[in-house]
A and B are shown apart, each in its own frame.
Chain A
Amino acid sequence: MGALSGFRITLQQMFRPRVTTDYPNEKRDKPERQHGRHVLNRYEDGMEKCIGCELCAGVCPARCIYVRGADNPPDAPVSPGERYGFVYEINYLRCIHCDMCVEACPTEAITESKLFEFSFVNREDAIYTKRELLVDDDGRARRQPWELWLGGEDDETSAWMRATAPSGNAAYEGKVGWSGELGFGVREAELGQTATFWDESKAAEDLHTTLLESADHHERDHEREALADTEDETGAPHGGGHR
């Protein structure tokens, strides 16, 4: 065909499947731990998780979070602790969605949903206050008119926490180390980063083997020793030949 082969190619492509989706009506699945618009979570009994400690505001590299804590009213406490987040504001003109606030939060109060399609048209809307950020009575994000929610973008707002082991200790991977959420209860532990598949009965064994191999590979004796200690504590079966 020579110079005219382009015509054949374009015609062929008409019958190939499309790589884009019917976007505003149909969204592509997002990465499991995408950083999107924040939500302020609540416990299963409806209490707010935020204790007004301002760690998120302190760690925020963009300085977009403004928090003021206050003492809980004794007759009608807002959060289970001593104090609660009296003011909580995030300025989305500055937020870079780095998720450091989520990492800093001691009570898992602030987490991120997967929503990134929120195109406010004035600066007031850009500053989300507690009224917008706090989840509603079903534990769902409060949907603002300028946000394009579709599908399960607020189903798993705390995915980051469940992806890594509590306190960075890999041996706790797969164990529940977080509190329940309003509307969802205590979430199951997720497939970890070291396991290739998840099977409750074999998980501990697999984990142990993987970690030992990893330790062998790096020839780090102190890791082995630490592992030997945790073995006894957790009662994980010994992998044969790995002594």
Chain B
Amino acid sequence: MSALLRGPLAVDPLFLGGIDWTVFLIVVVKTIVVFALLLLSVLFYIWFLRKVIADMQNRVGPNNAGKFGILQTLADGIKLFFKEQSIPDGAEKPIFRLAPYLALIPAFIAFSIVPIGGVVTVAGHVTYVQLVDVPIGILVLLAMSGVGLYGVMLAGWSSGSKYPLLGSVRASAQLLSYEAAFGLSILAVLIQSGTLSTRAIVQHQVWSGGVVAGAQWHGWSTLGQWFIVATPIAFVIFLVSAIAETNHPPFDLVEAEQELVGGFLTEYTGIRFAIFFLAEFMNVITMSAIAVTLFLGGPAGPGLGFLARNGWVNAWIVPVFWFMAKLLLLLFGTVWIRASVPRLRYDQLMNFGWKYLIELAFLWLMVTAVIRVADDQQWDFVNGNRGLTIFVVTVAAGVGAALVYGVLMLCIPRGDELASIEEWD
């Protein structure tokens, strides 16, 4: 992996030959296309969500705007756009106005690091089908999901009203709690790949070793290198904490209608309201796209063998197709969860996050790290057999991790003990 780290891995080949007008234009077009793609995905996702949930509840769902109601979201958006926007008297007006954009812009920036396709040639320039491939890719994601939290928090705080404030307090507590498990589950992948660049992570899952290139498919055997196989538990933890990060059901306590009216959204109307929803659904899509990148090999997938290996179909269409297919699968998962699981109670949410998810993520990280070291150092102290050594080390790490977890669980006070602690005050 050190070879990967030394190489010019996080630079889009677009910039290697210097920057001229063509390069600039390509970047601008890429930005617009990715933004449009994300907006269209949100339109599609909301329609998809409503249709699938309708199916699961034996209903028809939206059916009147456009064919199969596919323009329903657009109609809702237009309606909201032309609605009156009210600002409460007690609101901090500049922050109240700013908050929706604080939620929206990070959601978009986070998506820009996602590799959507392979390597293509545009007007003589070789480039990635990806907006940017920053060397600190995953850190951008973490930073942006952190900034996105400010949008929710400031929205609730600046509304000058009770329920929004409660919603935003919940939001900060929840997002901080799950940020930890979220980061730890990503770390498990980073330990495996040895890089922060999203493109390099995808490349590692497709073909370990060698230079970073497009997401070229190297046969079905590379399926085993997808990180969902290497760190399945990290995948589950990532999904759970990503759903919590995006305030998606069953973790949508921030806007729990039955308890908080609309949570941080209560005082928002019109287009600002729409922007919050746009940001929320953008986040869901972004998180799913990141999950595809980290665990499911990104745009990697078998190409069309009868066509030229580097022809336009195999370079442009096929990787994007595989990326979209995997994305759709995960998005269906989010809808499925939304339809199946009731919302958590607030103490359940905190218990689950702090007492189980973070511990599990930590312990899994330890096991992953031990395996990684055993592999890198080429340990073979068990009968001189490396495979057997790794197995033994893994079991030992697992047992050790379980022991640590057990001790931790013993240390955490139970509900009745908590009550007695309160009496001391």
Q: Is the CB of B56 within 8 A of A10?
A: yes
CB nearest to A16 among chain B residues: B58
A7 to B341 alpha-carbon distance, docked (Å): 8
B340 and A23: CB pair below 8 A?
no
A238 CB to closest chain B CB (Å) equals: 53
CB distance from A194 to the nearest CB of B (A): 37
Does A241 lie at the interface of the complex (its beta carbon under 8 Å from any beta carbon of B)? no
Q: Across the interface, do B59 and A19 meet the contact criterion of CB distance under 8 Å?
A: yes
Which residue of chain B has its CB nearest to the CB of A24?
Answer: B64
Question: Interface residues of A, CB < 8 Å — how many?
Answer: 17
Contacting residue for A20 out of B59, B64, B336, B339, CB 8 A: B59
Q: Taking A10-B339, A10-B340 as contacts, is the C-beta distance between A17 and B60 under 8 angstroms?
A: no
- B341 engages A6 (CB within 8 Å): yes
| Cβ contacts under 8 Å, A243 to chain B | none
- Min CB distance, A150 to chain B, in Å? 13
Enumerate A1-40 residues with CB–CB distance to B below 8 Å. Answer: 6-7, 9-11, 13-14, 16-25
Cα-based distance from A21 to B52 in the complex (angstroms): 16
Chain B residues with CB under 8 A of A20:
58-60
- Which residues A24-70 have CB closer than 8 A to chain B? 24-25
Nearest CB in chain B: distance from A102 CB, A: 33
Query: A13: which of B58, B60, B63, B341 is its contact (CB, 8 Å)?
Result: B58
Contacts of B57 in A (CB 8 A): 13
B residues 333-377 near A (Cβ < 8 Å) are 336-337, 339-341
Interface residue? B380 (CB, 8 A): no
* A104-158 residues at the B interface, CB under 8 angstroms: none
Within 8 A of A (CB), among B100-141: none
Inter-subunit contact B340/A6 (CB<8 Å): yes
Whether the Cβ atoms of A13 and B55 lie closer than 8 Å is yes
Indicate if the CB atoms of B63 and A23 lie closer than 8 Å.
yes
**Bound-complex Cα distance A6 to B56 (A):** 11
- Taking a contact as CB atoms under 8 Å apart, the answer to whether A23 and B60 are in contact is yes
CB of A7 within 8 A of CB of B60, answer no
A131 to chain B, nearest CB (A): 30
- Give the most central of A9, A16, A19, A20: most B CB within 10 Å: A20
- The digit string for B36-71, where 1 denotes a CB below 8 A from any CB of A, is 000000000000000010011111100110000000
CA distance A47 to B35 in the complex (A): 66
From the candidates A11, A17, A22, name the one contacting B63 in the complex (CB within 8 A).
Answer: A22
Complex: A11 Cα to B60 Cα, angstroms:
16
Do A18 and B59 touch (CB < 8 A)?
A: yes
Closest approach, in angstroms, between the C-beta of B70 and any C-beta of chain A?
A: 14
Note all chain B residues with C-beta closer than 8 A to A22: 60, 63
Closest chain A residue to B53, Cβ basis: A10
Complex CA distance for A21 and B59, rounded to whole angstroms: 8
Contact A19–B341 (Cβ < 8 Å): no
Min CB–CB distance A145 → chain B (angstroms): 17
Contacts of A18 in B (CB 8 A): 55, 58-60
The interface residues of chain B lying within 8 Å CB-to-CB of A11 are: 56, 336
Residues of A contacting B64 in the complex (Cβ-Cβ under 8 angstroms) = 24
Nearest CB of B to A14, in Å: 5
* Shortest distance between the CB of B52 and any CB in chain A (Å): 8
Extra inter-chain contacts (14) besides given A9-B340, A22-B63, CB under 8 Å: A6-B341, A10-B339, A11-B56, A13-B57, A13-B58, A14-B56, A18-B55, A18-B59, A19-B58, A19-B59, A23-B60, A24-B63, A24-B64, A25-B63
A-B contact pairs, 30 of them (CB 8 A): A6-B341, A7-B336, A7-B337, A7-B340, A9-B340, A10-B56, A10-B336, A10-B339, A10-B340, A11-B56, A11-B336, A13-B58, A14-B52, A14-B55, A14-B56, A16-B58, A17-B58, A18-B59, A18-B60, A19-B58, A19-B59, A20-B58, A20-B59, A20-B60, A21-B60, A22-B60, A22-B63, A24-B63, A24-B64, A25-B63
